[in-house]
Amino acid sequence: MTTPARRSRRRADRQDVIVAGGGMVGAAAALALAHEGFDVGLVETRAPDPWKESDEPDLRVVALAPSSARLLDQLGVWQSIRQARCSPYRHMHVWDAGHGATLDFDATDLDIDTLGWIVENRLVQHALWQAMDAAGIRRVCPAQVVDFAASDDGVHVTLEDGRDLDARLLLAADGASSPLRAMAGIGTRGRDYAQRGVVAHVGFERGHAETAWQRFLPGGPLALLPLADGRCSIVWTLPEARARDVLALDDAGFRDALGVASDLRLGRVTSCTPRAAFPLRLLLAERFHAQRLALVGDAAHVVHPLAGQGVNLGLRDVATLRDAVTLAQRDGRDIGSETVLRRYARRRRSAATLDAWSFDALERVHSARFERLAMLRGLGMRAVDRIGPIKRRLAAHAAGR
């Protein structure tokens, strides 16, 4: 039984928001809300390794859209990221291996300086964690949420070591396998693509020309993303069996296979780091909120990497939630109320669902082996490339407008 003294102590110690998960999206959410004056705590199982300029660039990179850069700038971390190791891409060239159709995007089409930036995941997370110290965010790490109980008054969180935390709102930023989502009884929809994304950093004979290159192949797309040191980060989507074969190749064999897959567009592959791979799947939470709980990032949605929008969608969750919660606080309303969370969830689930199934449709179309469909695919790409308003709309959406 909870005594009156303990209830009073809990209320005095109660924070505004607890964020479970300190990855890029969770750390950004904690920092965004702290910047708005909220008392924020963050629970994470393991602190990230510090980023060092002398280290080999992280194999996992993100293509940050201008909308994401704006949010990171508002959080005070974008300048340090850009000055550390960050490569802009001003052009995007897409071509189809089947019928040779091409699609080109240029920053000048949108009257902007760049379409986006390729940045190491670890660098973004490092910058956000560094900024949390100055923002007064109370970090509980290492720690893990094992239970929570929501009520009309707030949310009570229990950690694995027995500690208790109290807040008005709990954010689940704990990844695609989100324990908090499961605790809340929120189901998911989606599918396993039976594919893996093979990643490495490679050097080519010719420079990347600040261009993101993507070739659609029968087994999945190959992306060549520009790095600050002149190399490219590759994300090569392959069926499971083919991915295992590619990972088993020696360096010379891998360079030859990648040269063929890239159509030698940048010349021969001259160097390659060790390779890694990660499984690909589509996942959408059936709801983005429960009582006193909001899902953000991979806990809410996981999409195919062919459009490079995964982290950008998560950072859009953060911006939308920040705005909804800040408006509620300004109006004197409860930031964890059903009305506030439903408004956030309705807006972000609608947008994320449209994006996720659009990317899924693109994957299905571009992996189709039927000749007639392949011909239609090529005609569609050529048509989009020639119709200015459609192409600008696609580019603007990718930029987060």
Q: Does 29 share its domain with 132?
A: yes
Q: Among 251, 275, 299, identify where a domain stops.
A: 275
Q: Does 151 share its domain with 108?
A: yes
Q: Does 36 share its domain with 145?
A: yes
Local confidence band at 109 (pLDDT 50, 70, 90 cut-offs): confident
DSSP secondary structure, 24-37, as one string: HHHHHHHHHHHHTT
CATH code at position 207: 3.30.9.10
Local confidence band at 102 (pLDDT 50, 70, 90 cut-offs): confident
Q: Does 361 share its domain with 373?
A: yes
Q: Does 115 share its domain with 154?
A: yes
pLDDT score for 397: 54
Local confidence band at 247 (pLDDT 50, 70, 90 cut-offs): very high
Q: Which amino acid is at 111?
A: D
CA-CA-CA-CA torsion sign (77, 79, 85, 91): positive
Q: Does 371 share its domain with 306?
A: yes
Q: Which amino acid is at 160?
A: E
Q: Please report, to the nearest 10 degrees, the dihedral formed by the alpha carbons of residues 272, 276, 281, 282 taken in order.
A: -60
Structural domains in the chain (count):
2
Q: Does 301 share its domain with 388?
A: yes
CATH code at position 171: 3.50.50.60
Give per-residue pLDDT as tens, 3-54: 333 333 344 479 999 999 999 999 999 999 999 999 999 999 999 999 999 9
Q: Does 294 share its domain with 339?
A: yes
pLDDT score for 399: 56
Q: Does 179 share its domain with 303?
A: yes
d(CA 11, CA 133): 24
Q: Any idea how long the chain is?
A: 401
Q: Does 179 share its domain with 101?
A: yes
Q: Does 16 share its domain with 62?
A: yes
Give per-residue pLDDT as tens, 258-317: 999 999 999 999 999 999 999 999 999 999 999 999 999 999 999 988 766 789 999 999
Region 95-102: what's the mean pLDDT? 81
In terms of residue numbers, what domain contains 15? 4-49+57-190+281-398
Give per-residue pLDDT as tens, 56-82: 999 999 999 999 999 999 999 999 999
Question: How remote is the C-alpha of 107 from its chain's centroid?
Answer: 22
Contact of 26 with 297, CB cutoff 8 Å:
yes
d(CA 35, CA 27): 12
Q: Per the structure block, which two tokens stand in for 163?
A: 């500690």
Q: Which amino acid is at 282?
A: L
Q: Among 275, 294, 322, identify where a domain stops.
A: 275
Q: Does 122 share its domain with 132?
A: yes
d(CA 146, CA 306): 34
Region 174-190: what's the mean pLDDT? 97
Local confidence band at 389 (pLDDT 50, 70, 90 cut-offs): low
Q: Among 217, 252, 275, identify where a domain stops.
A: 275
Question: Would the pLDDT of 136 be above 60?
Answer: yes
pLDDT score for 108: 86
Query: How high is the mean pLDDT of the chain?
Result: 89
pLDDT score for 100: 75
